[in-house]
Amino acid sequence: MLLQLISVLGALMVLSAYGLLQSGVWSELHTGYLAFNIIGSLLLAVVAIEDQRVGFIFLEFAWAALGLIGVARAVKARRTAG
């Protein structure tokens, strides 16, 4: 039951981030967008590891890594703007 709750929370975070990006509320370098993507994908990775789903483990860690690249871009953009 706990894993189901974790997976739903993770999926809601990733989908919410994408929805807010698509609706123009957040940009691709918005802190909330990046945080929701990284945390949501890591929650889903926990479930994938528990279920031993190698493809999903790869997907979720890759998604989190891409989010971290976004964080690096956001930090760089803020430094050059300030």
Q: How many of the other CB atoms lie within 10 Å of CB of 41?
A: 24
Q: Which domain holds residue 44?
A: 2-81
pLDDT at 49 (0 to 100)? 96
CA separation for the pair 71, 73 (Å, rounded): 5
Count up the domains in the chain and report the number: 1
pLDDT tens, the chain, 82 aa long: 999 999 999 999 999 999 999 999 999 999 999 999 999 999 999 999 999 999 999 999 999 999 999 999 999 999 998 7
Closest CA to 38 of 73, 2, 8, 62: 62
Instruction: Specify whether the CB–CB gap between 21 and 28 falls below 8 A.
Output: yes
pLDDT at 33 (0 to 100)? 96
CA separation for the pair 32, 35 (Å, rounded): 5
pLDDT at 46 (0 to 100)? 96
Both tokens assigned to 2:
């706990």
